[in-house]
């Protein structure tokens, strides 16, 4: 049996994804915020905030997992991405860690399908083209050795984000 691992770049609403886990571009408190974080907390219901409160926060680049509650996804993996400070403060390493540690948690919880938003490219101001390269490179490398994770969706909220991820996808020669 041959299992095809793949990355799919799509435009849509991550809170509607029927996958094993969606990733939340959280803040370090894990208690909800704006953008995708707020949308995920609203869609999951108040139980998500209660579950997140038990972690007492999360450092940038690390990840935590909770049930999906009212979401169609079984789990929510929360990871605070880095705030962009010009690129010379370890941002790319921290962003890599956000994707890698999220995938590790998905793997540990036997998730086959995972959906990511574009981490740090909203209010954290990470340049979209650079973020897409880090995200897709990290995911591509992870899938080469993953046992559980088979399909990773990059869920782009708007057409500008979609175009950046499609361009990075082509540049990296992802099949």
Residues known to be catalytic: 37
Q: Distance between CA 82 and CA 59 in Å, rounded?
A: 10
Phi, psi at residue 55, to the nearest 5°?
-85, -15
Bridge partner list, 151: 6, 113
* Alpha carbons within 13 A on the beta-carbon side of 126: 27
Q: Distance between CA 87 and CA 136 in Å, rounded?
A: 18
- Cα maximum dimension of the chain: 47
Of 92, 97, 62, nearest to 78 (Cα)?
62
Tokens of 12: 């849509």
């Amino acid at each position: 049996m041959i299992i095809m691992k793949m990355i799919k770049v799509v435009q849509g609403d991550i809170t509607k994804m029927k996958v094993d886990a969606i990733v939340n571009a959280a803040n370090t408190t894990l208690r909800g915020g704006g953008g995708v974080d707020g949308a995920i907390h609203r869609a999951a219901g108040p139980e998500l905030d209660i579950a997140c409160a038990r972690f007492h926060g999360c450092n940038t680049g690390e990840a935590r997992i909770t049930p999906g509650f009212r979401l169609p996804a079984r789990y929510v993996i929360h990871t605070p991405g880095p705030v962009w400070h010009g690129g010379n403060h370890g941002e790319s390493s921290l962003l890599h860690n956000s994707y890698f540690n999220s995938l590790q948690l998905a793997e540990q919880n036997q998730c086959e399908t995972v959906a990511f938003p574009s981490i740090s490219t909203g209010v954290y101001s990470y340049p979209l083209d650079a973020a897409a390269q880090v995200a897709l490179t990290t995911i591509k490398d992870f899938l080469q050795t993953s046992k559980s994770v088979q399909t990773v969706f990059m869920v782009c909220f708007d057409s500008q984000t979609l175009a950046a991820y499609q361009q990075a996808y082509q540049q990296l020669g992802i099949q």
